[in-house]
Amino acid sequence: MSVPGVVGVGVADRSGRPVILVMLTHVTPEAKALPEQLEGYPVSVEVTGEATAFGTDYRG
């Protein structure tokens, strides 16, 4: 999703119902204009901050 401020998109469970989750670094005018639904699924927007990818060889 090429909307300024969007760092991730996924599927989440809200009260037993699937929603499209849009994660933002910060709220932008473009993010405020996101639809409330997409292909019949509710859109949930959360400000999460920056996202950092970790390698797959993590050994905790």
Model pLDDT, residue 9: 95
Q: Is residue 55 in some structural domain? A: no
Model pLDDT, residue 1: 60
Model pLDDT, residue 24: 96
Q: Is residue 36 in some structural domain? A: yes
Among 39, 54, 44, 40, smallest CA distance to 6 is for 44
Number of separate domains in the chain: 1
* SS3 annotation, 23-39: EECCCCHHHHCCCCEEC
Range of the domain at 36: 6-47
Residues 9-54: tens digit of each pLDDT: 999 998 999 999 999 999 999 999 999 999 999 999 999 999 887 7
Concatenating the DSSP letter of every residue in 37-55 gives: EETTEEEEEEE--------
